[in-house]
Chain A
Amino acid sequence: MGWKFDFATGSSSGVYRVAGSTWAFAFRYYSPQRRCRLQSAVAARAESMAKPRTHQFDTLTLHAGAVPDPATGARATPIYQTTSFVFPDTDHAAALFNMERAGHIYSRISNPTCAVLEERIAALEDGVGAIATASGQAALHLAIVTLMGAGSHIVASRALYGGSHNLLAFTLPRFGITTTFVDPRNLDEWRSAIRPETRLLFGETLGNPGLDVLDIPRVAALAHDHRLPLLVDSTFTTPWLVRPFDHGADLVFHSATKFLSGHGVLIGGLLVDSGRFAWDAADARGKFATLTEPYPGFHEMVFVEESTTAAFLLRARREGIRDFGACMAPFTAFQLLQGIETLPLRMAKHVDNTRKIVAFLREHPLVGAIGYPELPEHPDHALAQKLLPRGSGAVFSFDLKGTREQGRRFIESLKLFSHLANVGDAKSLVIHPASTTHFRMSAEDLRKAGITEGTIRLSVGLEDPEDLKEDLSRALHAAGKA
């Protein structure tokens, strides 16, 4: 006969032998707190019976869009390195061409490896679909040319990546599409720049180079008041830091070259559609004729009739990718899928390292202003807390106090930070915008863009933060002596 009470679990148990038979008992004492916890666990289980079946972000980064290869069972997404796909018969071929059947025809228009990537980024952004493009620039171009032609107008944030600025300010006007640039923080400027021929509002989640945080909810609301879509460049944030569609944006694009790929090995872009914008709303009629009027280039197709939620992507693929041809290569898509598999892990570490570097630089006498929205002095600090609770990314600029020569010395003394024109690599990067990415800008424009001779931009990688601080410390010391 024995009896014991287990204080850890609150259970007692024992074995009694009575008249030749054995009785076992187990009794569990539940404290009121424990009872309460158990009851809520039971309630949670009951609730879970009618819980929507969905998957969480981290699961989607690994699985969305990818099923084991039906032909071979390959678990990794195969690289479908082929230009074209055999038609089972002529009727099937015609049906594929006329959008009556699902499938692939020619890898400029779609490719199975790229399609997995497109589904994956759509899943992560909560969009209805996506198109993989040759570069981030190609994604921006595709978005614009799908929505408008000569005579149209865009209102864009002034704090843009230099390449986007070039396209909008210098190249597209030659094709009749003009842009008014506005201070992204000034809603009145956005509003007063809108004209009858405006077709799009455009900004970056984190602007260049001052990390102006785009107030997506307010700019989106303004856009929608005017029956216009908001396009957001989410390159610096990735869906791990913010999903612009959750805040009202209608279209998102990424330079997938950066954090989505994460390893500095490829050039690629992704254009994602939320599926929410009503292109054919009664009061928007005529504004988006590419989507609401018959298209002679595809059997008089009216894209909004063909697809209620994805007319934009349909036209972007059936016209933009078909005719302009800036598609992504399947090998690039494969590498991007590899990158995205570790996006949550990498972004967490990127942000963590960045916080440590920012804290370090802040204490250094040679360092002036630091443009990082998590710092209380950043003009968008409060907005960043709201829109970017997981962090403000891993790219930021700071001012080196001193001469141009000291700036040169600083950059050349760095050993771990590579001096190059890119961001979002697993390795840490550095650049001097005034002499490189922004060298074409006048002094006045530089000042407007918030760039000085001493501005240094860092893209913080995944190295040990102590080693990065050590590298910066040594280079700052060298700069101080120059």
Chain B
Amino acid sequence: MRVRVGDYGVYAYTGSRLPDRTAPNIVFVHGSANDHSVFALQSRYFAYHGRNVYAVDLPGHGNSEGEPLRNVETLADWLIAFFNAAELKEVTLVGHSLGSLAVLEAAARHPERVSRLALLGTAVPMAVNDQLLAAAAANDHVAFELINGWSFSAKRLLGGNPWPGMWMTAQAMRLMERVRPNVLYADLVACREYTNGLRAAAGVWCSSLMLLGARDVMTPAKAARDLTATLRDVSVVTLDCGHSMMSEQPDAVLDALREFLR
């Protein structure tokens, strides 16, 4: 689906389905240098199980136009603008990594629009390694390599993909390689500079789910502790995987979301 948000065209994956105005909405928000396809299986499931799915490409990513947004607060406002453009009154928000910060902030800013909140591979604050940031600033391919190395659990760096025949580290690599220069850097800066996380969490009134990877080196599970303590109505599910949980453990991620949205 394509809509205009402000001056730019925005793409959202809907599972090739038309919206049903009576069904609840879910918006999926990807992380740094990624796009909607990181949620392929999970978003498709909900699209065929009674929900309107919108897995967006953030500005400057995937098939959406424009430049990457400067910070998490702007991303949160952009999400609300997207809801307006797509005529979504109330949504469940699912965000991964940078996307988790954007949905957290959006839920705090507009509690009336967000019915539930799922934060995947999240950390508050979201530290970004200095060498990674420097490599991203230089548009050095090493940045992608570092991310890949830290995003998959050691075991999964050797594959064993539950999705048959796909070598997931190269898939993750190709996805990042597609972004234009400076996009990764902009995303990482947005992650690192977001300081409002705990305040936002205190302002979230809906129930929330935190899905953490026990082997996540990018956003280690322990870096989400303060967030867990702050959110009002939160359930935490820790999976045996790294940061790239949707590809490492697609079914477990889906089952946790299903349980949460039951």
Asked if A364 lies at the interface with its beta carbon under 8 angstroms from chain B, I say no
| Interface of chain B residues 29 through 65 with chain A (CB within 8 A) | 35-37, 40-42, 44-45, 48, 62
Q: Assess whether B165 is in contact with A118, with CB atoms less than 8 Å apart.
A: yes
Minimum CB–CB distance from B47 to chain A (whole Å) comes to 8
Asked if A317 lies at the interface with its beta carbon under 8 angstroms from chain B, I say yes
Asked if A63 lies at the interface with its beta carbon under 8 angstroms from chain B, I say yes
Question: What is the bound-complex CA distance between A123 and B173, given in angstroms?
Answer: 12
Listed from nearest, the 7 A-B pairs whose CB atoms lie closest are: A53-B149, A52-B145, A118-B165, A122-B167, A100-B45, A110-B164, A275-B174
Give the residue of A63, A104, A301, A305 whose beta carbon is less than 8 angstroms from that of B164.
A104
Which chain A positions have C-beta within 8 A of B251?
101-103
Which chain A positions have C-beta within 8 A of B146?
50, 52
Give the residue of B40, B62, B159, B174 whose beta carbon is less than 8 angstroms from that of A119.
B159
Asked if B85 lies at the interface with its beta carbon under 8 angstroms from chain A, I say no
Which chain B positions have C-beta within 8 A of A294?
16
Q: Assess whether B167 is in contact with A128, with CB atoms less than 8 Å apart.
A: yes
Q: Assess whether A119 is in contact with B250, with CB atoms less than 8 Å apart.
A: no
Q: Assess whether A98 is in contact with B48, with CB atoms less than 8 Å apart.
A: yes
Question: What is the bound-complex CA distance between A118 and B36, given in angstroms?
Answer: 25
Question: Given the interface contacts A119-B167, A129-B166, does A101 sit within 8 Å of B41 by beta carbon?
Answer: yes
Question: What is the bound-complex CA distance between A128 and B174, given in angstroms?
Answer: 8
Asked if A127 lies at the interface with its beta carbon under 8 angstroms from chain B, I say yes
Which chain B positions have C-beta within 8 A of A380?
none
Which chain B positions have C-beta within 8 A of A102?
41, 161-164, 250-251
Which chain B positions have C-beta within 8 A of A299?
16
Give the residue of B41, B158, B178 whose beta carbon is less than 8 angstroms from that of A63.
B158
Asked if B132 lies at the interface with its beta carbon under 8 angstroms from chain A, I say yes
Known: A101-B45, A123-B167, A129-B166. 17 other contacts (CB 8 A): A52-B142, A52-B145, A52-B149, A65-B158, A65-B159, A65-B161, A98-B44, A99-B44, A111-B164, A119-B160, A122-B167, A129-B165, A129-B167, A299-B16, A306-B44, A308-B36, A317-B165
**Closest chain A residue to B1 by CB distance?**
A305
Asked if B70 lies at the interface with its beta carbon under 8 angstroms from chain A, I say no
Q: Assess whether A306 is in contact with B40, with CB atoms less than 8 Å apart.
A: yes
Q: Assess whether A127 is in contact with B167, with CB atoms less than 8 Å apart.
A: yes
| Interface of chain A residues 263 through 300 with chain B (CB within 8 A) | 274-276, 278, 294, 299-300
Which chain A positions have C-beta within 8 A of B154?
53
Question: What is the bound-complex CA distance between A128 and B148, given in angstroms?
Answer: 14
Which chain B positions have C-beta within 8 A of A118?
164-166
Minimum CB–CB distance from B259 to chain A (whole Å) comes to 14
Minimum CB–CB distance from A360 to chain B (whole Å) comes to 41
Asked if A468 lies at the interface with its beta carbon under 8 angstroms from chain B, I say no
Asked if A426 lies at the interface with its beta carbon under 8 angstroms from chain B, I say no
Report the count of interface residues on A (CB-CB < 8 A). 55
Residue interface bits A134-168, CB-to-B below 8 A is 1, else 0: 00000000000000000000000000000000000
Question: What is the bound-complex CA distance between A118 and B170, given in angstroms?
Answer: 13
Asked if A93 lies at the interface with its beta carbon under 8 angstroms from chain B, I say no
With a 10 A CB-CB cut-off, give which of B16, B62, B154 has the most chain A CB atoms.
B16
Question: What is the bound-complex CA distance between A386 and B104, given in angstroms?
Answer: 52
| Interface of chain A residues 98 through 117 with chain B (CB within 8 A) | 98-104, 110-112, 114-116
Which chain B positions have C-beta within 8 A of A479?
none
Question: What is the bound-complex CA distance between A114 and B164, given in angstroms?
Answer: 9
Which chain A positions have C-beta within 8 A of B48?
98, 100
**Closest chain B residue to A317 by CB distance?**
B165
Asked if A4 lies at the interface with its beta carbon under 8 angstroms from chain B, I say no
Asked if B150 lies at the interface with its beta carbon under 8 angstroms from chain A, I say yes
Q: Assess whether B132 is in contact with A50, with CB atoms less than 8 Å apart.
A: yes
Minimum CB–CB distance from A472 to chain B (whole Å) comes to 41
Q: Assess whether A305 is in contact with B159, with CB atoms less than 8 Å apart.
A: no
Residue interface bits A299-312, CB-to-B below 8 A is 1, else 0: 11110011111100
Minimum CB–CB distance from B2 to chain A (whole Å) comes to 11
With a 10 A CB-CB cut-off, give which of B157, B171, B175, B177 has the most chain A CB atoms.
B171
Which chain A positions have C-beta within 8 A of B35?
308
Asked if B129 lies at the interface with its beta carbon under 8 angstroms from chain A, I say yes
Minimum CB–CB distance from A247 to chain B (whole Å) comes to 16
Minimum CB–CB distance from A455 to chain B (whole Å) comes to 39
Question: Given the interface contacts A101-B254, A118-B165, A119-B161, does A308 sit within 8 Å of B155 by beta carbon?
Answer: no
Asked if B13 lies at the interface with its beta carbon under 8 angstroms from chain A, I say yes
Q: Assess whether B167 is in contact with A103, with CB atoms less than 8 Å apart.
A: no
Q: Assess whether B16 is in contact with A54, with CB atoms less than 8 Å apart.
A: no
